[in-house]
Structure 1
Amino acid sequence: MDLLHDDPKKLFFKYLLPSISATLVTSIYVLADTIMIGKGVGQDGLAVLNFILPLFTLFFGTGLLLGVGGAVLMSVANGSGDKKLANTYFTHAALSGAILAILFTVLGLVFLEPIGYMLGCTSVNIGLFTSYAQYLVGFCPVFLFSSLLQAFVRNDGAPKRAMVAVISGGVTNIILDYIFIFILGMGMAGGAIATVIGSVTSVTLLLTHFMSKQNTMKLLKGKIQVNIIGRILHSGLPSFLIEVASGIVILLFNLQLLKYVGEVGVVVYSIMANSAIVAMSLFNGVSQGAQPIMATNYGADQSERVVSVRRLGSITVVIIGIVLFLSGFLFPDIVVQIFIEPTTEVLDMARGAIRIYFAALIMMSLNIFYSTYFQSVLKPKLSLIICLLRGIIICTILVFLLPLLIGVTGIWLVMPITELITAIIAMMMVRSAKNSI
């Protein structure tokens, strides 16, 4: 395929299906894990899993902070021919990751129950929390290095190995989830152990890269250089913020829902949040399919082709968003029953909540696509603005303000309003930036 001369429309649709398939992989694993706990443990287990998610995002986000930040700098150094500097970045990222993973593990195990209560647990469900979280925290290094090594192995010229590692770990997780939860009746602990073994599988496969001829990375001896760590953190900060922002949003929603409607609200929200993960993977798939075409043509100063692909991508994601919204609006009961066997109370609340919340998916589609678009045309600051607006700033304000004004309905309205405001700002930025393409 000639990205600079082939028809942009044909190029876009050639990239579309493979890209969406790839991004769906991770979301399907998360979804399967959630469904099995919801069906095998019940709605209490589903609520507790939602309390645990911020810890996942912290560990995974820290791996991205050091992995993406260090791997990008490593690639730049390799491109300039400075192999020693490249390995210096890898060494400092790996060492920093090990130190932080040990720190998280020690603090997490010592203060496990207080952390659970801080995240929204009560004396009724703290046992479910600790039965899962003790394995998550105890094996924090595995989760952190899973995301860290993925970035480095991918940037060291082995994207297929990174993909196989992720897929293998996910499949292992799903199979063991079913065995441990349904066959052996191990409950939350079984789900946690399955997740740990799946991540160990991924890390083990990633480590095989260091025994291959393709590997160029090695650990160097020497003093820790603070300026090198600073560069890595600066480079990886956007990836970290995007990942951790989702954990912050989940935490704030959980706390507000517990305050206004109790645990049943958390159960309903966990259903919607996990549905949104699938939606985001579809939007990311379209975005990542369009990204190499837009970036290559931007570099060649082919602005008309960039705009053509941007329009195709934005139309595609909006169509997907509308279809998803209509699915939730017309069939909210089916959405709920995918995850749990609902009580009448859960079902009554979920019907209205899902119909409101799923409206956010239409505008979310544009926000995710435009964020990738700005990265493609070398405007990362504008991309970061979109991520921070929708991920932290607007929703944090609204999740405290709207419930005071209109009660629990205000909580369900937070994401639709957040995505709408962000989309308006994003479209204004696209319009103002088009002359500089």
Structure 2
Amino acid sequence: MTATATVLVLSLLGAPPASSQDPLCAKREPCRVVETLDAGKDAQGRPMQVKHLDLGWADVDTSAEFLGRKFGPGGRKAEGSRAEGECEAAEWWLMRPSQPAQLLLSVCNNGYGAAGVGEDSVTVADNRFTHEQSGGSRQRWSVSRTLQLSPLWLVIEGHRSSDAMDSEVKEDGDYWDLETLRGEVVRSAPECESGEPSLGERTLPYLPQVQVDKAYLQGGWKQAGLGACGFESGNFLLGNQDDPKDASLKALLVTPDTLLVEVRDDKWTGPSAKWLNDDHVEVWLAPEAPQELTGCGKPTDAQKPSQWGIRVTDGKVFPAFGSPKQTIQVERAELPGKQGYRLKLKLPTPFKGISVVYSDSDSGKKQELMLATSAVKFGRPETLNPVRGVSPAEATCAVKNGQLALVPGTAKKTEPDVAVLRMD
């Protein structure tokens, strides 16, 4: 079951909030329970609910001290107006058997911007609580976050922005799903200076950096695969793939300078006199975050990426684009039955953009298939993967059934009257 509640101007909905007999409203007039929503069951199989409270109107300046926690017993009134510097106060509480009510979210909507069109939309589903807040004036924005309710864990967050006066719909934004370690940054086509070519709209998948245990980092990576933690390539730079078993590529950053790469193929070529025609991995590194570059014109010398080729069959490293003077240290492990190789790469630092490519050459005469973690354009740092760092408090990766699997971080702890989702 999924239920959605949107906080709108109360005067449009009818009567102002009346006093409620619910314990959450005790000595907090005006206060009423707008709705009680089914939130599924907790980790112990007990039913959960979310209660939505309407707390009337508050002074914008006064309400600021309560955002992120329970509103106080006074300072609010049943009717008000945004034009008079007031905002609509609301709270959402998680209700669980034999546990105190937990504040999930408190807001006071003053329109969230000069346009006065801001809204708070809440969706409650099985063990999920999603809040989307929107606002702005000419530059419209929205922020969306999803909580797992049992145990409390922020699993999804996203941001979007657009120009309300633009005749074309152009959205910039980002999205991250911690449960799947997947997300992306979207950059709309910029208005470049006259005569400058543009790369157009760009969708840049995040390459995650996740902590693994020391045993895996030291040698366990040779026996256990990247599993669900590894980022699987989804971009074809060259050729196409009729048979998914032909070739595959996964990558995962496990420290700021350590990259694990898993390559599978049904036929291996090399070494030969020309590494470019051998099966090889390419690593691109750039000093600036790709989402912060405009994509207009050519990159400056300071922005240009560096490229290395790593022959899979012997691990030899070849400097390529940019003629980098630093090198990459390589350790290799062959997968059972020569199905593939796992590489542990020590990378030059610092870098903020990275992409990994696998070049497959069954004939040994030319590059025939190129899989990549982003839609890399040769020499263009704007097309690399942004790095998404995952703190150990959010999640880590550990071996389960011979593969890396996500381990959620410590459940979020907060006082019952302090909101789990903070808007500051």
- For the aligned pair, the TM-score class normalised by the smaller chain equals under 0.3
Larger radius of gyration: 2
Structure with greater strand share of residues: 2
Q: TM-score, normalised by structure 2?
A: 0.25
Q: TM-score, normalised by structure 1?
A: 0.25
Structure with greater helix share of residues: 1
